[in-house]
Amino acid sequence: DARVTQTPRHKVTEMGQEVTMRCQPILGHNTVFWYRQTMMQGLELLAYFRNRAPLDDSGMPKDRFSAEMPDATLATLKIQPSEPRDSAVYFCASGLTRTSVTGELFFGEGSRLTVL
Amino acid sequence: GQQLNQSPQSMFIQEGEDVSMNCTSSSIFNTWLWYKQDPGEGPVLLIALYKAGELTSNGRLTAQFGITRKDSFLNISASIPSDVGIYFCAGSSALIQGAQKLVFGQGTRLTINP
C-alpha cells in the first residue's frame, strides 16, 4: 500500500530549538510539496521540489526555514530557531509530474509541531 | 495573493441528508479539486475538475467546475457516518515549472448526527 510517510507524527519543543521534519514520498513520485496547516491560515504551500530540485519556496520564511531533498526517497523541512508561531501541522505531499500538473497530490499524515 | 472563499464553514446534518458546499474566487482557475481530510490524517483527493462547466461524479459525490471558472460546488447525496470530516476545495491558475500551485479553501467541517 503506497503512501507518503512523515516523521515525527508529533513534536513538542521549546522556543529556539531546531526542528527537523522528514518525508518519504511514494516510490516513483518525482514531485514533493511541503504544506503547513493552521486554524487561522488553513493550508499554505511552503516549498516544492521536482526531481529533487527546489522550484518554489516563496511561501517559506527564509530566515528560519529550509527545505532539502538529499535523495529521491527523503525530503526534509528544518526550522532553526523555532518560534511559538511555527506551531502547526506540517504536511508533505508527493506526485508525478503529470498528476502534479493536474493537482493530484498524495498527502502524508502530517507532523504536528508544538513550540512552547 | 489568490484566495478561495469556501462555505459553509461547518455543517451539522442528519444521516441520509444531502450536503452541498461551494467555493468562490475573485480569480479565474483552470483546475478545481476537492479533498477530504479525516481527523489525524492528510487530505485525500475526491474529485478533480479541469474544464469550465464540467460535472463529475464519484459515487455519491458530484462536483462542478463553474462556467465563469471562478467557482465550484460539491454535493454529497444520502450522507453516511463515514462522510464526517473536513472538505477542502483547491484551485490553481498558474503553472510553476510544470506543476500547479494549489490554493486551498478554509474547509467545510461536516458533522453527521445518526
pLDDT in tens, A39-98: 888 899 899 998 999 888 888 888 999 999 999 999 999 999 999 999 999 999 998 876
Which residue of B50, B88, B97 is in closest CB contact with A43? B88
Residue B2 has pLDDT above 80, yes or no: no
Residue A15 has pLDDT above 60, yes or no: yes
For A47, nearest residue in chain B (alpha carbons): B101
B98/A43 Cβ within 8 A = no
A91/B100 Cβ within 8 A = no
Which residue of B43, B44, B98 is in closest CB contact with A50? B98
DSSP state, residue A51? T
User: Which residues of chain A does B100 touch, with a Cβ-Cβ cutoff of 8 Å?
Assistant: 100-103
B98/A100 Cβ within 8 A = yes
Q: Which residue has the higher pLDDT, B27 or B86?
A: B86
B101/A48 Cβ within 8 A = yes
Which residue of B41, B92, B105 is in closest CB contact with A109? B41
User: What pLDDT score was predicted for residue B25?
Assistant: 92
Residue B100 has pLDDT above 70, yes or no: no
Question: Could you tell me if B85 lies within 8 Å of chain A, comparing CB atoms?
Answer: no
Residue B98 has pLDDT above 80, yes or no: no
pLDDT in tens, B33-83: 999 999 889 999 999 998 999 999 999 999 999 999 999 999 999 999 999
Question: Could you tell me if B62 lies within 8 Å of chain A, comparing CB atoms?
Answer: no
For B98, nearest residue in chain A (alpha carbons): A101
For A3, nearest residue in chain B (alpha carbons): B42
Q: Which residue has the higher pLDDT, B83 or B94?
A: B83
- Lowest-pLDDT range, A78-82, B13-17, B23-27? B23-27
Percent of chain B with pLDDT over 90: 75
A97/B48 Cβ within 8 A = no
User: What pLDDT score was predicted for residue A59?
Assistant: 84
DSSP chain B: ---EEEE-SEEEEETT--EEEEEEESS--SEEEEEEE-TTS--EEEEEE-STT-EEEETTEEEEE-TTSSEEEEEE-S--GGG-EEEEEEEE--EETTEE--EE---EEEEEE-
Residue A115 has pLDDT above 70, yes or no: yes
In our burial notation (b when 16+ CB lie closer than 10 A, e otherwise), range A81-102 reads ebeeebbbbbbbbbbbeebbbb
